[in-house]
Structure 1
């Protein structure tokens, strides 16, 4: 066999092996983040979501199986901004952890803690998509253009969603743009679209607190006063 034929055979084999290489193993902490990762990754990544759909990220405690899943992953995507605080001791020993909220302008609660609920503004989700694409492209250069292309397409959908929300909100009088929520999770949405979080059922900035009888009475008074 000639040298040229050997070279062509070697190139063909290399391309075949590259095409059949095992896909990246990725983990996303929440189902919302997992959906964004899936939009960008397509079929080029095997994705697992860590938190069950009905779990509370503020209080989630991983099982031994969860720890094993994280340790096997090529990359772990976290929302960041303190949402996965209970996972921090474990994540410190995991190889590649990507904070999706890197670059987002974070809001701060009155108690000084960072508001982690960034996904309630579609523009922040677009930042997530870009960060996911950049991380996957670095780990899997063969599909880098695919990741970036999907992220760009998803960003366009988010821009359309943002424009639609703005149009719908314009139908609501400014004095009626008031939110009463279970806990103070809608800060990014409120800031983007001109709403005000007037009160929350749970005091503080997470779901860990429980309202007292006095606080519930005050909440009822606020709701009646504002006619929410």
Structure 2
């Protein structure tokens, strides 16, 4: 004789309105016991903001909730409330992955950069440098500065002039003596998240220069508004 229902759900009556399902630690609650929309489960990852908004609008319910941190934005479609408990979560996510440009910029902050690292930063992000000491930047100004630093063979002295710019007396690889001027502040404006490259962040950094010896220097870039 075949039993009508092969699943037996033990329960404990806590009150007339409440019940608790007891599951042995070696057993799992079968999804087949859950009523229809409760046993549906999905996780959808959107690739951009428009897709995320479209998916949320399509699947949202009255008790849907949005959560976010610095890594992702999540919509829990069937969020648990005090009046209704859901058994299977339905989620729509948007990962907040940094663009390679912002990641590179951020990785160069608050640490001592060698001459080569500083030149690399200027050349790789020159299109996102919008101001030098508060004045609009011509991209060629940055390239010229990077190439001049690249040609430096020896540093004779360093000083700040009245405009707070950093002046370097140097000897270039050809043997000629020159004076280079480093800016005091550089402003970057670049896309932050791959999910929405139209979202631009503007960051002003201050340069602190340290001459280690006559052929090497380090620069620390400090951004007071990075957070």
Greater CA radius of gyration, 1 or 2? 2
Tell me whether the two structures share a fold, i.e. TM-score over 0.5: no
TM tier relative to shorter chain = under 0.3
Determine which structure has the larger helix proportion and give its number: 1
Higher strand share: 2
